[in-house]
Amino acid sequence: MALVMVLAMFFFGLGPAFLPQPVHAQTAPIGNGFVLDAGDLRFIFQQIVVGQGNAAGVPLSQLVGTQNVPFNPQLPMGLRTVDGSNNNLVPLPDQHLFGAADVLFPRLTPATFRAADAGTTYQQTSGDVIDSQPRIITNLIVDQSANNPAAVAAATNPCGSGGFVC
């Protein structure tokens, strides 16, 4: 009787260790939460049209504003190039290189340089630059609160209003 009890404990206690057990994976239904509607498909098609046209050598300014790709510089449409050319699709003369790599920003006022923190100056053209607040620009860009005057100006002056061009 004791031998039967030991064998029963052995097989029932160690059974799961050497017998394969079924695994029940918990998965969501296929496509759960992912829905494409006609607007999504139209947007994808517009991006394909722009990409194909650019690969064929058609200037982006001729692709955007057509029936397939309506013009709106605030919408996330179009093709972004590595060198930055044609990234600005505002239909103004000579704007296709605005913000492109190796192109100087237009200067609207004369350059005025002031002395900087001790150890460096903005007037120098070589050597090390010491900046006491190296992250101020990044912090201002990230700060989209009402405490940042640039964020307030951008929020209250949408593209095209008050001479503000996107």
- What DSSP string runs through the chain? -HHHHHHHHHHHHHHHHHS--------PPTTTT----HHHHHHHHHHHHHHHHHHTT--HHHHTTSSSS---TTSS-S---TT-TT-----STT-TTTT-TT-PPPPSS-------STT--TT--SS----S-TTHHHHHHH--STT-HHHHHHHHS-TTGGG---
Question: Which of 63-69's residues contact partners 24+ apart within 8 Å by CB, and which partners?
Answer: 64/89, 65/91
pTM (whole model) above 0.85: no
Per-residue pLDDT 10s for the chain (166 aa) are 777 776 766 666 555 555 666 667 677 777 777 888 998 898 888 888 877 887 888 876 677 666 666 656 666 666 667 777 666 666 667 676 777 778 887 788 898 877 666 666 667 778 777 777 777 878 777 888 888 887 888 788 776 565 555 5
Note the pLDDT of residue 87: 67
Task: Count CA within 13 A, CB hemisphere, residue 58.
Answer: 15
In this predicted structure, what is the pLDDT of residue 166? 57
Residue 42: the pLDDT is: 86
Question: How high is the pLDDT of residue 9?
Answer: 66
Residue 71 pLDDT:
59
